[in-house]
Structure 1
Amino acid sequence: MTIKKNKLALLVGLLCAGSAAAQDVYTFDEVVVSATRSEQSISDVAVSVDVVDSKKIEENLAQDLEQAVANEPGVSMPGTGRFGNSGFNIRGLSENYVKTMVDGVEQPVSFDPGADVMRKYNNNVETDTLQRIEINKGPSSSLYGSDALAGAVIIRTKNPEDLLVPEGDDTYASVKTGYYSADESYKATATIANRTGDLDTLLIFTHRDGHETKTHSSGSDIEGRERGQADPFDINSDNLLLKAFYQINDDHRVGLTGEIFNREADGLISSNEGYEIMPGFVYTRNSANDEDKRRRVTFEHDWQANTTAFDRLKWQVTALESESLHNTFDETPEPPTSFGHGYRQRVRNGEDKSTQFDAQFDKAFDLATSYHEISYGVNYITNEFNLDYRDMYLEGSKAGTQADKAGDVPNAESVKWGIFVQDQAFLLEERLVLNAGLRYDSFSAEPKGTTEYANSESDAVTAKLGAVYHWTERLSSYANVSQGFKSPTLQDLYYFYETDAAYGAVYEANPDLKPEESVGYETGLRITQDFGRFDFAVYYNDYKNFIESTKLADNNGEGKELWSKQNISKAEIYGAEFKAQLALDVLLNAPTGMYSDFSVAYTKGKDKENGEALDTVSPLSAYFALGYANVEGTYGGKVAVKAVAGKSDSDWSNANIDTDNVSAPGYAVTDITAYYRPVSDLTVRAGLFNAFDKKYWEYTDLIGAESDTEGLDRRTQSGRNWGIEAEYVF
């Protein structure tokens, strides 16, 4: 017999799945792309995938990516303060161990040299532009290449068809505004989409104006290291997204996307005022001015070819630029009182310029007893990384002069390219689904303008094999084994540091580093009923060649310690996750429209060399939500509780500090959200967050904090806060 997987029938079936009485609160099944790079029912993929769609983002009043993923099991986004969120954490590994892509465009890796005057993070994505976030858990390099060591976050912004009727000419226009007390910010978003003939267009513009995100109100509002309140900053941002797609004929569609993002922050570093780093060397008049910019242009072509080699070809080329401009001002006493510099401006700028090409070919065909969906393709990325470091002396004996400073790493150009192939195969009358993938990647880095640093080259072959077995229409199980890798970053390869003093340490570059590697094993169970869906997964991830700072000698011949990055460490992370989505009207005969969410995530990890815990591994966490949406969809809301266990003692590593890390207390936080549609075109949303004013810390904000650390209150999360939004669709 032959097997035909009809995509249209699949999509219609998914939209109609679940409880009609639940008023489409859940479909209990959905289509995902990130697990296989093609549209598949989530029940047919052999990996854990969490989905955050635009509806969930709006209902939770999420204003950044951290808030958007906050309730997903095993997922978080560390970072706080002046430089914001650093990157995603998936099952215990964060930042550059997780691949992030927006509309198929790879985002530059984070740059964090450790100083308090320079960070370059790349996660300022405007949530009002987002249609969908898919979080692919576990090693994913066979699909997405380097940096997908722990997983991949695949983000898609809105397209015109997401807002317009399926066929015919149409126009969509809306305005949205909101206020949020946590940072005393307001936003305004305008959206316009249009289809005229074969041309689809979209414009989304968002302006935000606010301040620093508040810590808990119990912290002291003083100057100095004991400050308990966040440093005061004025922050505003603008984001413009433009898209145009033209259907040339039945087979060819082309598109052009442009996006401009700009964020400015200006404030006082009050927590550093009066800080005496050594006798007589005191910081005063501390302030900062920061600007983050991002620009991208993408051209894409979708060809429904139906040739022998491929049914569909989709390719795109992108130019992406991102900048982080940091200006830090301070005054330190000059000789003879101290060896300071007077009043100065420390300029620390970083820039990435990337050109990216990606092509994917898809082919579907029947064999005698099976059906196959083959995907294969290639991607090529060049990236130029540049640092501009200067100290400008504004007052004092050096006033009007400037000192050029060496960057933490040399300016460099890197090239990455990869080829991949995978097969999604349906056998045994589609009861058995097999997925196999193979990929080759190459990476090279070349420092510019210097002969002091050697070029670096590395490559990797990664594979995966997964299977789903549908025991019945409502019960399936899956298992997979997959590989991941991360090429050394420029910071890994070329970071160099040496003090001018006769004491201290020397940090040497190491261009011979090998890629970090992982192998992940996962198995799970999925149960779908009329009243809900249940997902259970257990996993084990094994890591090797971890890059760590290593002391090579106590004396480099000049009386200084010698350090460098080395591939020395091995680690393991394992855990379990459970998720449930329930239509309570069907399950318990509750009022029509009642529903609930529940999830729990357990993760443990350790360094296999010394047996110590991994600081980035999250403690036990759970989430429960009880919600209601009335039959007409005119009003609804939910109460959600997130509980996180504490992290203390042996939960922390002690390898690099002399005293124990401060304990991160456990906590439970309650959020209440609601919406109301007084007329069909107007929606009002409101939220009360941390409703019981709990004082708590995220464990990621306490990594490396010793028990006598000053200003711990400055690392707390916001106390009770609220937000309100109104959206009108014309």
Structure 2
Amino acid sequence: MNHKQLSLIASSVLLALSPSLHAQEKKAYTDEIVVTATRTEQSIKDVPGSVSKITAEDMEKNLANDLQDALKYEPGVQVNGNGRFGISDFTVRGVSGNRVKVMVDNVEQPAGYNPGADQMRKFSNGIEIDTLTAIEVSKGPGSSLYGSDAMGGTVLLRTKNPEDVLKAGENNHLAVKTGYASDSEQYKATVEAANRSGAVESLLIYTYRDGKETETHGDGADIEGLDRGQADPLTFASHNLLGKVYVQVNDANRVGFVAEYFNRDTDTQILSRENYDAGGGFMPGYVYTNVKAHDEDDRIRLGLNHEWQADNTAFDTLNWALNWQQSESKHDNYDHTGANGNRNRYRAGEDSSTQFDAQFNKIIALATTRHELTYGLNAVKNEFELDYKNYSLDTGDVTPGPVEVPNAESVKYGLFLQDQLYLMQEQLVVTAGIRYDNYQAEPASSSGLDKHESDAVTGRLGAVYHWNESFNTYAQISQGFRSPSIGEMYEDKDNSMFGYKIVSNPDLKPEKSIAYEIGARSQGRIGAMNVAAFYNDYKDFIVSSTEEVNSIEVTTNANLDAAKIYGVELGAEVWLDEALSAPYGTYAKLSLAYQEGEDKKTGDSLDSVAPFTSVVGLGYDAPSGDWGSEINAMYVASKTGDDWTDENVDAPSYTVVDLTTYYTPTENLVLRAGLFNAFDKKYWRYQDVDGLTASTSGLDRRTQPGRNWGVNLDYAF
């Protein structure tokens, strides 16, 4: 048997090869390349921190239909949200929401907006994963490279370029993909085309999806009202169109244009709110019936970018990009009450941004050292608007709705510098970086609220030491920050007649973090392993506080909280054919993630910290490359009692088993199938029961799907 050398994956925990490599002849050692860790293409072996990378092949292998599917096996990473409003945000090592920066092709996505009412949500969830070539998650603060919001982690979604689908020597590419997922009765169809003609390369990807609500476990009660145990009936349809054109103007210059449009329409019957008595039995005119909703989410972006191989004294390369993006969420909320009749509470939110980014790279080679300098700047101008209206469907009257925050504009810019220094014949790699950020926000003048301005300086220092070709250790200290959001600063309501008021606070300071991480990576003939330990400190967390003033409850946001989160992550992969003389192409993998978190002011646990999680996998890829299969068992420990800040319903432990397989009858055709939750386990994800008590109605409505299956077919012409 020929010995295979392993390719080290960018995941800090789970190191795995794509199945096709098992069936090939002996390969030279190559490193997985990541971008988020240094803003440049970099071998993971020289990165002093944890980065997870999910490739398009990984997503296809697991029949992923959304980001939750794509990242479900990644330790230390959770994707949150479900139901009517879909995916809401990411949790990275216990930090979630707007404290994790999300970017699509380096275009930052707007902060999520959730005022708490059931009628309005706005999240950055208009992502079609069939357009992605990779998802990278940099764990821990990354503000020295990416600025505000990267205080807990950075998620970079990289869409495909023409060179990602055009094989060597090919000038044309045409492929179709289709699939079905039983848990949501979802059908998809994707057409992918690319062309290379002289100096011009182009790419066009269109994806259509339609389906229904993601089902809960099958034993929930199919009834109306708060005790409903099944998901509310829902239908959706989405369209995504991505186009790119690149022109190689000359040997030194390449210009690119990108356009992307996403649209999703959703109709929901909110049976869980049917006959809800808002008056508690004392106000019969406020019993809700005929509760339903129509939602529309849109995202459009247009971009121009330029790559210049300058090779001058100041820089070797310059990459700059100018992007415009607009995202909008529109919600029609229909219901009937005796007091209000038939009505529609229309709630809409829109973010529009213009973003400029310029990055310079310079390599300075000295006698015994090498510097890889990266420096640059970026600026973002964002406009945030809310549009609320109340429609009486019986009379035709239209009245303004009560918006939570005024329309506002914000501007932020940053300057950064990073030096990656190679010493001792590249046995030691030291990475140091620093960044300055300035943030300004100004609400509409009619609001009478004050302008906000704040700034931050963040740094990073890390080192990797290569003991030999197959083993290295690393350590890193890094800082992060998050500027306060428009909603946090400017929510302002006077409802004194109802006994409460909310007071704005434009003087909020940025939240801050500092993280320490050490780790080791090894790879050899029989496998690969990665272990990391981290300790993260957070301060000036923005939280709301309430006090009674003249019998009125007054709530405002302030920088009150501090927290710490620490943990260990481990990943390993073993080629069983080499280690145990198993059939050629057999492999096993393991990942473990353990976290603890504490509010430093109160000593309470943090609700966002995940319980202990492990994934054990066993797979086989036939030497011919024609077929293969994999089984994964994911165990998640319980989160109960003192694991929660307040009294919270238990999130029991669970083990879920998934099976996937693929078959390639011809070179251009791939058939994939998966059986998920094979043993029909009833379980709740901890983040879906956060804030609920044992007396909360409809707990079964928060369960994940029971046994379900999916099939995909990919054909390249």
Quickly name the TM-score band, shorter chain normalised: over 0.9
Per the TM alignment, residue 28 of structure 1 is displaced from its structure 2 partner at its CA by 7.4
Which deviates the most, 310-319 or 594-603?
594-603
Query: Is 1:445 paired with 2:441?
Result: yes
State the alpha-carbon separation in 1 of the partners of residues 587 and 24 from structure 2: 10
State the alpha-carbon separation in 1 of the partners of residues 422 and 18 from structure 2: 21
State the alpha-carbon separation in 1 of the partners of residues 16 and 655 from structure 2: 35
Provide, for residues 299-348 of structure 1, a one-character-per-residue CA deviation record: whole Å limited to 9, x for no partner: 000000000000000000001000000010011112xxxxxx11110000
Query: Is 1:722 paired with 2:705?
Result: no
SS of equivalent to 1:450: helix
Code of the residue aligned with 2:502 in structure 1: it is Y
Partner of 1:456: 452
Per the TM alignment, residue 504 of structure 1 is displaced from its structure 2 partner at its CA by 2.9
Partner of 2:530: 535
Provide, for residues 181-210 of structure 1, a one-character-per-residue CA deviation record: whole Å limited to 9, x for no partner: 010010100000110111000000000011
Q: Residues 314 and 494 of structure 1: is their aligned pair in 2 closer, same or farther, counting only changes over 3 Å?
A: same
Per the TM alignment, residue 16 of structure 1 is displaced from its structure 2 partner at its CA by 12
Q: Residues 306 and 573 of structure 1: is their aligned pair in 2 closer, same or farther, counting only changes over 3 Å?
A: same
Code of the residue aligned with 2:315 in structure 1: it is F
- TM-score scaled by length of structure 1: 0.94
Query: Is 1:479 paired with 2:475?
Result: yes
Q: Residues 24 and 174 of structure 1: is their aligned pair in 2 closer, same or farther, counting only changes over 3 Å?
A: farther
Query: Is 1:697 paired with 2:692?
Result: no
State the alpha-carbon separation in 1 of the partners of residues 153 and 367 from structure 2: 35
SS of equivalent to 2:393: strand
Pick from 121, 124, 135 the counterpart of residue 122 of structure 1.
124
State the alpha-carbon separation in 1 of the partners of residues 274 and 623 from structure 2: 57
Partner of 1:298: 303
Query: Is 1:207 paired with 2:208?
Result: yes
Partner of 2:274: 273
Pick from 79, 82, 93 the counterpart of residue 77 of structure 1.
79
Code of the residue aligned with 1:412 in structure 2: it is A
Partner of 2:67: 65
Q: Residues 220 and 21 of structure 1: is their aligned pair in 2 closer, same or farther, counting only changes over 3 Å?
A: closer
Kept in 1: contact 2:84–2:268 (CA 8 A): no
Provide, for residues 526-576 of structure 1, a one-character-per-residue CA deviation record: whole Å limited to 9, x for no partner: 11112211000000000000000011x312x3x211110000111000000
Pick from 506, 513, 529 the counterpart of residue 511 of structure 1.
506
Q: Residues 505 and 20 of structure 1: is their aligned pair in 2 closer, same or farther, counting only changes over 3 Å?
A: closer
Runs of 4 or more, structure 1, over 6 Å off, are 14-20, 24-28
SS of equivalent to 2:69: helix
Code of the residue aligned with 1:541 in structure 2: it is N
State the alpha-carbon separation in 2 of the partners of residues 572 and 114 from structure 1: 26
State the alpha-carbon separation in 2 of the partners of residues 28 and 306 from structure 1: 27
Per the TM alignment, residue 20 of structure 1 is displaced from its structure 2 partner at its CA by 6.9
Provide, for residues 208-231 of structure 1, a one-character-per-residue CA deviation record: whole Å limited to 9, x for no partner: 011110001110111100000000
Identity among equivalent positions (%) equals 50
SS of equivalent to 1:368: coil
Code of the residue aligned with 1:345 in structure 2: it is N
Unmatched 5+ stretches in structure 1:
1-10, 335-340, 655-659
SS of equivalent to 1:96: helix
Query: Is 1:494 paired with 2:490?
Result: yes
Kept in 2: contact 1:21–1:585 (CA 8 A): no
1:270-669 aligned at under 5 Å gives the runs 270-278=271-279, 279=282, 280=284, 281-334=286-339, 341-395=340-394, 399-499=395-495, 502-551=497-546, 553-555=547-549, 557=550, 559-654=551-646, 660-669=647-656
Per the TM alignment, residue 17 of structure 1 is displaced from its structure 2 partner at its CA by 13
Partner of 1:231: 232
Kept in 1: contact 2:385–2:408 (CA 8 A): yes
Partner of 1:337: none
State the alpha-carbon separation in 1 of the partners of residues 155 and 447 from structure 2: 37
Code of the residue aligned with 1:452 in structure 2: it is G
Per the TM alignment, residue 162 of structure 1 is displaced from its structure 2 partner at its CA by 0.7
Per the TM alignment, residue 637 of structure 1 is displaced from its structure 2 partner at its CA by 1.1
Partner of 1:190: 191
Which deviates the most, 443-452 or 114-123?
443-452
State the alpha-carbon separation in 1 of the partners of residues 658 and 26 from structure 2: 19
Kept in 2: contact 1:32–1:41 (CA 8 A): yes
Kept in 2: contact 1:203–1:243 (CA 8 A): yes
Per the TM alignment, residue 267 of structure 1 is displaced from its structure 2 partner at its CA by 1.8
State the alpha-carbon separation in 2 of the partners of residues 15 and 219 from structure 1: 37
Provide, for residues 240-282 of structure 1, a one-character-per-residue CA deviation record: whole Å limited to 9, x for no partner: 0000001011100000000000000012100000011223221
Pick from 151, 154, 173 the counterpart of residue 152 of structure 1.
154
SS of equivalent to 1:115: coil
Q: Residues 274 and 526 of structure 1: is their aligned pair in 2 closer, same or farther, counting only changes over 3 Å?
A: same
State the alpha-carbon separation in 1 of the partners of residues 121 and 673 from structure 2: 34
Per the TM alignment, residue 22 of structure 1 is displaced from its structure 2 partner at its CA by 6.2
Q: Residues 494 and 200 of structure 1: is their aligned pair in 2 closer, same or farther, counting only changes over 3 Å?
A: same
Per the TM alignment, residue 449 of structure 1 is displaced from its structure 2 partner at its CA by 4.1
Partner of 1:3: none
Partner of 1:338: none
Per the TM alignment, residue 166 of structure 1 is displaced from its structure 2 partner at its CA by 3.5
Per the TM alignment, residue 15 of structure 1 is displaced from its structure 2 partner at its CA by 13
State the alpha-carbon separation in 1 of the partners of residues 490 and 196 from structure 2: 50
Q: Residues 19 and 586 of structure 1: is their aligned pair in 2 closer, same or farther, counting only changes over 3 Å?
A: farther
Provide, for residues 616-671 of structure 1, a one-character-per-residue CA deviation record: whole Å limited to 9, x for no partner: 100000001111111121101100011100001100002xxxxx210001100000
Partner of 1:672: 659
Unmatched 5+ stretches in structure 2:
1-9
State the alpha-carbon separation in 2 of the partners of residues 15 and 616 from structure 1: 28
1:247-266 aligned at under 5 Å gives the runs 247-266=248-267
SS of equivalent to 2:125: coil
SS of equivalent to 2:89: coil
Provide, for residues 596-631 of structure 1, a one-character-per-residue CA deviation record: whole Å limited to 9, x for no partner: 221000000010000001101000000011111111
Partner of 1:39: 41
State the alpha-carbon separation in 2 of the partners of residues 692 and 54 from structure 1: 28
State the alpha-carbon separation in 2 of the partners of residues 165 and 723 from structure 1: 28
State the alpha-carbon separation in 1 of the partners of residues 143 and 26 from structure 2: 34
State the alpha-carbon separation in 1 of the partners of residues 31 and 249 from structure 2: 33
Per the TM alignment, residue 153 of structure 1 is displaced from its structure 2 partner at its CA by 0.7
State the alpha-carbon separation in 1 of the partners of residues 171 and 276 from structure 2: 61
Per the TM alignment, residue 18 of structure 1 is displaced from its structure 2 partner at its CA by 13
Kept in 1: contact 2:99–2:152 (CA 8 A): yes
State the alpha-carbon separation in 2 of the partners of residues 197 and 28 from structure 1: 30
Between Structure 1 and Structure 2, how many residues are aligned? 699
SS of equivalent to 1:471: strand
SS of equivalent to 1:662: coil
Kept in 2: contact 1:25–1:629 (CA 8 A): no
Kept in 2: contact 1:28–1:581 (CA 8 A): no
Partner of 2:6: none
Per the TM alignment, residue 165 of structure 1 is displaced from its structure 2 partner at its CA by 2.7
State the alpha-carbon separation in 1 of the partners of residues 21 and 700 from structure 2: 48
Provide, for residues 391-444 of structure 1, a one-character-per-residue CA deviation record: whole Å limited to 9, x for no partner: 10112xxx2111102311110000010000000111011110000000000000
State the alpha-carbon separation in 2 of the partners of residues 29 and 307 from structure 1: 29
